[in-house]
Amino acid sequence: MKFKLEYIWLDGYEPVPNLRSKTKIVDFETEPTLDQLPLWNFDGSSTRQADGSSSDCFLQPVALFPDPARNRGHLVMCEVLLPDGTPHPSNNRAAIADDPDAWFGFEQEYFLYKDGSPLGFPKEGFPAPQGEYYTGVGFKNVGDIARQIVDEHIDLCIEAGIAIEGVNAEVAKGQWEFQIFGKGAKRAADELWIARYLMLRLCERYGVDVNFHPKPLGVDVDWNGSGLHTNFSTKHLREIGGEEYFAALMSAFSEARDEHIACYGPENDLRLTGLHETAAIDDFTYGIADRGASIRIPHSFVNSGHRGYLEDRRPNSMADPYRITGRILQTIESVTAQALIEDAFAA
């Protein structure tokens, strides 16, 4: 039987990569598994990943999902390799540590745009101020196309085996959010990239663009930007935790503030202003249920003896989730390693 394999990868554009894809038709006797998928090449000179004089780059399949929009179709997330088989410099996935016991939940905000403006905006000026749009209902708040797109995207993600956990209209008109959960730094980020891909491909049929810019309406107007709030936990944080460990973790996050911001998406200074439910980019703060803090602490975390998950609200909507999860794990592991050493000595 012939199967349609949509090889998906990230290009070499900076400061953030674009999704690319192309279809490979392959014969298999039964449904293919990940280890059966062949390496495939592409023209890296057209994706800012190679020179024209030596343009071949290679796609290594790393995650496989059913393609709900095609008969006998699969979505294949790939890493980009150099001809010698080593990771391409743009391959952030290969550069990060992983931990299957690290859990991540992404809150992906975005705007739906048509003809250069968010859905529902008048041809000139702005709609009514923010207030009723968040989780809004009714034509005046969400229009007639957006909810149809959002509902179709839910179905596509579920049928693709992606752990989508919820959606809602967001604070600004034309702004929405979907939430993706995953176990392991790489797998969680794989699922978010595929969810983004499915949204982009779906919107092609509606003549609508997905705008992931963190502040698409600019800084001089009273409209929210878009984030990629990242909820995270590790086995140690869920099962052991404790107030002392939490304090050490927050100290490590504070010390590594600049390194985290460098991985949390470009033009974040436009969004992290201390306004519109953000902390200032040069500050590091945390607080219980505080949406104006860098790290929001859920009530459940404190009530469970400082065990559970935390939310880093600084990543922006077009950040690369591989870089986010990798940086968060790097900071956590430095603290957890020290805590385990101290526990061993105490014993």
Q: Give tens-digit pLDDT for 5-63.
A: 999 999 999 999 999 999 999 999 999 999 999 999 999 999 999 999 999 999 999 99
CA distances from 249 to 255, 324, 341 (A): 10, 16, 15
- Taking 3-state DSSP, the helix, strand and coil percentages for the chain, each rounded to the nearest 5, stand at 30, 30, 40
How many CA atoms lie within 13 Å of 81's alpha carbon, on the beta-carbon side? 13
The range of the structural domain enclosing residue 85 comes to 2-95
Residues 119 and 76 in one domain: no
The confidence score (pLDDT) of residue 342 equals 63
* Whole-structure pTM value: 0.96
Give the angle 261-329-326 at the CA atoms, nearest 5°: 60
Residues 319 and 184 in one domain: yes
Over 60: is that where the pLDDT of 168 sits?
yes
Average pLDDT over residues 219-248: 96
The confidence score (pLDDT) of residue 140 equals 95
Average pLDDT over residues 127-155: 96
For 207-223, b/e burial (b = at least 16 CB within 10 A) is ebbbbbbbbbbeeeeeb
What does DSSP assign to residue 87? B
State pLDDT tens for residues 170-209.
999 999 999 999 999 999 999 999 999 999 999 999 999 9
**Looking at 38, 61, 95, which one is the last position of a domain?**
95
Residues 117 and 41 in one domain: no
Residues 178 and 263 in one domain: yes
Give residue 333's pLDDT band: very low, low, confident or very high (50, 70, 90): very high
- Work out the percent of the chain whose per-residue pLDDT is above 90: 93
Average pLDDT over residues 210-216: 97
Residues 342 and 263 in one domain: yes
Cα separation, 158 vs 162, in Å, equals 6
Task: Give one word for 115, left, alpha or beta, with left for phi > 0 and alpha for psi -120 to 50.
Answer: left
The confidence score (pLDDT) of residue 336 equals 74
The confidence score (pLDDT) of residue 19 equals 98
**Looking at 43, 76, 95, which one is the last position of a domain?**
95
Residues 69 and 179 in one domain: no
Cα separation, 74 vs 68, in Å, equals 8
Q: Are strands 310-312 and 295-297 parallel, antiparallel or unpaired?
A: antiparallel
Residues 90 and 144 in one domain: no
State pLDDT tens for residues 64-115.
999 999 999 999 999 999 999 999 999 999 999 999 999 999 999 999 999 9
CATH number at residue 238: 3.30.590.10
Over 80: is that where the pLDDT of 338 sits?
no
Q: Do 244 and 342 form a contact (C-beta atoms < 8 A)?
A: no
- Residue 57 CB-density burial (10 A; 0-12 exposed, 13-18 middle, 19+ buried): buried
Give residue 343's pLDDT band: very low, low, confident or very high (50, 70, 90): low
Residues 277 and 155 in one domain: yes
Over 80: is that where the pLDDT of 339 sits?
no
Residues 238 and 335 in one domain: yes
Residues 30 and 127 in one domain: no
Residues 90 and 214 in one domain: no
Looking at the 3D structure of the chain, how many domains does it have?
2
**Looking at 77, 95, 113, which one is the last position of a domain?**
95
Q: Which residues contact 137 (CB under 8 A, 6 or more apart)?
A: none
CATH number at residue 75: 3.10.20.70
Three-class secondary structure assignment of 135-160:
CCCCHHHHCCCHHHHHHHHHHHHHHC
Look at the block and give the residue holding tokens 């945390």. Answer: 286
The confidence score (pLDDT) of residue 96 equals 95
Strands (E), 235-330: 286-288, 295-297, 310-312
Residues 256 and 312 in one domain: yes
The confidence score (pLDDT) of residue 30 equals 95
15 upstream amide cis, omega within 30 of 0: yes
